[in-house]
Amino acid sequence: MKRKEKKYKIEIHGAINTPNFGDVLFARMFYEACKSIPNAEVDFLQIPRFGVGKYVREETGYDRKRGKLEYLKANALILMSGGYLGLDNTSIYYVLHLYFRFIFPALLFQMLRKPVYIIGVGGGPIDSKWLRRKIKRLVNHAQKVIVRDEETRDYFIAYGVKNSIELSTDTALSYDKESIQKIEDEDFQNLFCNKKVLLLHTERPSNQEIAKKIIPSINIFLEKHKEYGVVFGYDYPINESLEETVCFKELCCETKYAYKYKNTDQMIALLNASDCIITTKLHVGIMGALCGKSVISFPTHREKTQRFYKQIGYPERCIHFTKIDDDIVLQQLEQYHNKPISIQESLITKAKENLMFVNELRK
């Protein structure tokens, strides 16, 4: 009688409890890549407070529920893109939050002498010296370390990492553009059948600062550029009415639309249907750039978003939110609204290597 081959159990670890577009997209991409491994049993890491969120479950179809420490029975752990190893804060709360969310579970796995693979992550700066030491230990004992930009590698080396660090690009750039769907929303299609689409995408629907610092310039731009209508979008699926938010109400134009999406496919479809994208978020900008759209970025994070635009050769498209005013926003719009971004094929190839490594994990 032929003996049944034992399952190779893999745990995926990252920002899997949030609804953020980029984190949910990564969960889906890594889950699909891991499931393609022959005889693999794939789970998302489930720990108290940071288990698998409903958005990741809905996106991936993952429905398992397990005990708190059951992940330690797995054969390997993948710390995927979306598990950011950086914190520009020394507050005890935020330091411990990052530690217990990302670092401690992986260190515990390593204590049992099981392999941890760090694939496509970003990191640094790390202002807490205590947290630096913990991250250094994690990275030094990882079986494989692939980071998404030079700055992450340089920070890790500066903090004392001696392990080999491979340089890649953001995993999102490996997304299959041929699979992008068309928007099925009839209201959207009717409104924008003869209009270009300017997408304003925010991380919070009722963002007073967005309304104050960005929308006045958009209104001036739209008054001059009648060929555009504006779509207001948000970073994850919500039930509240976007039409009632301050951002949407402050938009003064004939053609405006609040777009609510239910999954990453629908959000990517919107990005692909847009002509110009203004966003505060990293991965909306990345996917917009991958779709060949004009992207203007006003990030709220300290460094990580600027790194991406520098890496792809468009650093001028990214200005930190704290440094913008009406004139800067309008200047960015006038200069770049009709100039699409083109991603170098070499960067896309590099991004694909992240998931290729996952596909070949047992070979």
Nearest to 11, CA basis, from 169, 99, 119: 119
Between CA 165 and CA 176, with CA 170 as vertex, the angle to 5 degrees is: 130
**Domain 177-344 - what CATH class?**
alpha beta
Q: Which segments of the chain are extended strands (E)?
A: 8-13, 40-44, 76-79, 85-87, 116-121, 123-126, 144-147, 166-167, 196-202, 228-234, 256-259, 276-279, 294-297
Nearest to 251, CA basis, from 277, 216, 275, 279: 216
Would you identify the CATH topology of the domain 8-168?
Rossmann fold (3.40.50)
* The pLDDT of residue 272: 96
* The pLDDT of residue 159: 96
* Residue ranges of the chain that CATH labels 3.40.50.2000: 177-344
Between CA 120 and CA 78, with CA 43 as vertex, the angle to 5 degrees is: 25
Residues 316 and 296: their CA atoms lie apart, in Å, by 9
Contact 15, 53 (CB under 8 A): no
Contact 45, 12 (CB under 8 A): yes
pLDDT one digit per residue (tens) for the chain, 363 residues: 455 667 889 999 999 988 889 999 999 999 999 998 888 999 999 887 888 998 999 999 999 988 778 888 999 999 998 878 988 888 999 999 999 999 999 999 999 999 999 999 999 999 999 999 999 999 999 999 999 999 999 999 999 999 999 999 999 999 999 999 898 888 888 989 899 999 999 876 557 778 788 999 999 999 999 999 999 888 766 666 777 777 778 888 889 898 888 889 999 999 999 999 999 999 999 999 999 999 999 998 878 899 999 999 999 999 999 999 999 999 999 999 999 999 999 999 999 999 999 887 765
Contact 201, 267 (CB under 8 A): no
* The pLDDT of residue 265: 92
Nearest to 169, CA basis, from 345, 358, 43: 345
B/e letters for 314-324, b = 16+ CB within 10 Å, e = fewer, are beebbbbbeeb
For 160, the 3-state DSSP assignment is coil
Nearest to 205, CA basis, from 158, 245, 162, 160: 245
Element (DSSP H or E) covering residue 266: helix 264-273
CA dist 259 → 107, 152, 269 (Å): 41, 34, 11
30 DSSP β-pair partners: none
Tens digit of pLDDT for each residue in 251-266?
888 898 988 888 899 9
Amino acid at 349: T
* The pLDDT of residue 240: 65
